[in-house]
Structure 1
Amino acid sequence: MHSSGCATRCCCRRWGAQPKLVPTVIVWAHGGNHVELEGSFDSWTQRYTMQRSGKDFTLVKLLPPGVYQYKFIVDGQWRHDPNLTSMYDDMGNINNVLEVQEYVPENLESLVGFDPPPSPPSRRATPPPATEDFLKEPPVMPPQLQLSLLNVPPAMDAIAALPRPQHVILNHIYLQRMTTSTQAMVVGTTHRYRSKYVTTVM
């Protein structure tokens, strides 16, 4: 039999106004085959079965704002989650503590000061592109950017090892369009971390 004091059962309820219910998720992540929950939100009068979600057990309750004590019953044994906030009740039992707060929308008007500054007048005065601008050929890509670590043959003394990439290969994406029959595109990128090189191919 588990009992608890009523000091934290009720919290700041407005007279004459029904408090807004807040969806609250309670999770038990310490194993077990059957997990239940009791709490001060209904004066410890009802036991709720928690649903298994992967390795955890969860329960969603609609609670008015306030502070509540609760405890888990795992395979018939009273348990509290040591990783969550807990306290002693009047009987000396350790219960977890849950504070439910009503969601208050942010005041977006207070964020006006964080807006980026407007562009300078000189940029706004730039004329839009003319028709002849769209007829120009795009600039030629530097040939060194067409290199790919996977296209460089490995050294003869270490067939299984890829060559050390050149500096220009690092930190840029290499695209290779396949033939129309394969309908695929190979994307490769190489990054360096200290003395190691990591190449990712998709």
Structure 2
Amino acid sequence: MGNVSGRAEDLVDADIDDGNNMRRASSSSAGYVRGGGSSSSPPASPPRPHSPRMFVPQILMNQQQEDSDGPPQKKIPTLLTCTLGGRNIYVEGSWDNWTSKKLVEKSGKDHTILLMLSSGVHRYRFIVDGERRFIPDLPCETDNVGQILNLVDVHDFVPDSVESVSELMAPPSPDSSYGFHVPGEKEFSKEPPQLPAQLYLGVLNSRSTEEGCARPRHVVLDHLYIEKGWGAHPLVALSYTHRFRSKYVTCVLYKAIER
């Protein structure tokens, strides 16, 4: 009986290895169990079919991983200005799916904020002192709920051609305007002036008109000037010019010379 059993198992293995129908192998094994006289031998279980390997999901997952690992989108600086007044102003928008609120700082009479946004159309609104508002002077639209939102179109500016930009630049100076003049020995041998030439442009040396004196230059401010032997009288004139904001104040003191 043991020989018959071993022969039946060999037949089952041969049928599976030859690639024949799986039903044939299982029926042969089942027939032997029914015909056996011994109840102690366990029934032979049908062979487990081999499932083919699936590679398609792995390829799709690899493609999705490559797409997620791609280069990030370029961020473009975008300035948003709120002209609605108020004290505490925030802004929220579709750039982060309306998940956060950013504080808008005051700049002069208005409130501004600089955001780094990706290229495209974004929707946003301001929160002025706890109230959601929009700027009617800027592009806006109404959503499905009926709320009015402002729009901003962000795109990176690229000039059409370099030639159009070069037209706005100043033309280069001609070559004839340049020279190569070597100073002579007399210019190097001259003694430097004892005082800067601008200091002689004080109020005492300027001529006054009916309209008044000319505005003093900034180089003569906060300097004390003295002039002796003024006119036929033995006088000494002292002058001092000071500036207060946009006003210029000059004080002149005349004193007789004692002999």
Q: Deviations over 1:2-31 (max 9, x none)?
A: xxxxxxxxxxxxxx5532012323232322
Q: RMSD of aligned C-alpha atoms?
A: 4.6
More helix by share: 2
Name the structure 2 match of 1:120.
176
Q: How many residues align?
A: 154
The one-letter code sitting in structure 2 at the alignment partner of 1:62 is M
The one-letter code sitting in structure 2 at the alignment partner of 1:115 is P
Q: Against the structure 1 CA distance between its residues 149 and 79, is the aligned structure 2 distance closer, same or farther, given a 3 Å change threshold?
A: farther
Name the structure 2 match of 1:96.
150
Percent identity, aligned pairs only, is 26
Match of 1:129 among 171, 179, 183: 183
Name the structure 2 match of 1:178.
223
* Partner Cα distance (1:179, 1:151) in 2: 15
Does 2:106 correspond to 1:53?
yes
Name the structure 2 match of 1:77.
131
Name the structure 2 match of 1:164.
211
Deviates more, 1:32-41 or 1:48-57: 48-57
Normalising by structure 2, what TM-score?
0.43
Does 2:140 correspond to 1:87?
yes
The one-letter code sitting in structure 2 at the alignment partner of 1:50 is L
Match of 1:37 among 91, 108, 128: 91
| Deviation at residue 107 of structure 1 after TM alignment | 5.2
* Partner Cα distance (1:51, 1:57) in 2: 6
Q: Does the CA contact (< 8 Å) of 2:142 and 2:149 recur in 1?
A: yes
The one-letter code sitting in structure 2 at the alignment partner of 1:178 is H
More strand by share: 1
Q: Does the CA contact (< 8 Å) of 1:22 and 1:100 recur in 2?
A: yes
Structure 2 SS opposite 1:71: strand
* Partner Cα distance (2:114, 2:192) in 1: 57
Q: Does the CA contact (< 8 Å) of 2:81 and 2:110 recur in 1?
A: yes
Structure 2 unpaired stretches of 5+: 1-69, 226-239, 250-259
Q: Does the CA contact (< 8 Å) of 2:119 and 2:155 recur in 1?
A: yes
Normalising by structure 1, what TM-score?
0.53
Report 1 or 2 for greater relative contact order, CA contacts < 8 Å, sequence distance ≥ 6.
Answer: 1
Name the structure 2 match of 1:201.
248
| Deviation at residue 187 of structure 1 after TM alignment | 7.8
Structure 2 SS opposite 1:120: helix
| Deviation at residue 175 of structure 1 after TM alignment | 4.0
The one-letter code sitting in structure 2 at the alignment partner of 1:75 is D
Q: Which has the larger radius of gyration?
A: 2
Q: Against the structure 1 CA distance between its residues 69 and 51, is the aligned structure 2 distance closer, same or farther, given a 3 Å change threshold?
A: closer
Structure 1 SS opposite 2:115: strand
Q: Does the CA contact (< 8 Å) of 1:50 and 1:58 recur in 2?
A: no
Q: Deviations over 1:129-150 (max 9, x none)?
A: 11202445799x8xxx846399
